[in-house]
A = this chain, B = another copy of it.
Amino acid sequence: MSETETTGGKYPRHGSVDVVAAALTLLDDLGLPDLTMRRLAATLDVQPSALYWHFPNKQALLAAVSDQIIARARRDSPRATEWMPAARAEADALRDALLAFRDSAEVVSSTIALGLGAGEAVQRLAAALALGDFEPETVRRGASALLHFILGHVSHEQQRMQADSLGVLSEPHASSPAAAATGASARAEFDFGTMLLLTGMEQQLRRSRSRA
């Protein structure tokens, strides 16, 4: 299973892959604010400075973590041949992948904003849209709008989850079936938002056709 299992070697104990995996676990267990380099080092039984052999800084590590999260979306996105179901499927797969790890939307968001990684996310959305008869620039912008919405929505959703779990209910929201209801309405709100964008794209298509 591990890359160093046969060698009885004492010092080379970890590869970058192990570090990213440990970071992902720590993120999911403790959340982004508690994912510190020092804590990560501790779980790997290593000095904090050792991490800087694998990555130049924390942001680079988080970029690798982001790539890992996004890669998950690849494995369970069924491919469709029409652009609209395809784009919808990619959006859903992305949301599911993000929801699989605590605080992941914020991590991916800032990584993408800094241009350090997770480019696969836009690419997959763009590839789905490109199945339609759009201009390349329209595909780019549509994918970008979709991604912004997805990250914003899931980020909001995840922050709300941990706020709820901490019992920080600011408004008199609801009582016992609230947790389930919150989850369901979050899904509905997400579907509505992607639907808005996709029907917007559809309209765009109709207009360019009537021009021709």
Contact of A197 among B138, B141, B151, B200 (CB under 8 A): B200
Hey, which chain B residues are within 8 Å of A163, CB to CB? 114-115
The answer, among B106, B112, B197, for a CB contact under 8 Å with A156, is B112
The copy count of this chain in the complex is 2
| Chain B residues positioned under 8 Å from A156 (CB to CB) | 112-113, 148
Q: Mark A195-212, 1 if CB is under 8 A from B, else 0.
A: 111111111100000000
Nearest CB on B from A16, distance (A): 20
| A13 contacts chain B at the CB level, 8 A cutoff | no
Decide yes or no whether A109 CB sits under 8 A from chain B: yes
> From DSSP, what is the main secondary structure of chain A's interface residues?
helix
Report how many residues on chain A are interfacial, defined by Cβ distance under 8 Å. 38
Give residues in A with beta carbon < 8 Å to B.
106, 109-110, 112-115, 138, 141-142, 144-145, 147-149, 151-153, 155-156, 159-160, 163, 170, 188-189, 192-193, 195-204
Pairwise interchain contact A109-B152, C-beta atoms closer than 8 A: yes
- Whether B192 contacts A196 by the Cβ 8 Å rule is no
- Among B113, B114, B160, B196, the residue within 8 A (CB) of A196 is B196
Residue among A138, A192, A203 with most chain B CB within 10 A? A192
- Contacting pair B160 A115 (CB below 8 A): yes
Q: Are A193 and B141 in contact (CB under 8 A)?
A: yes
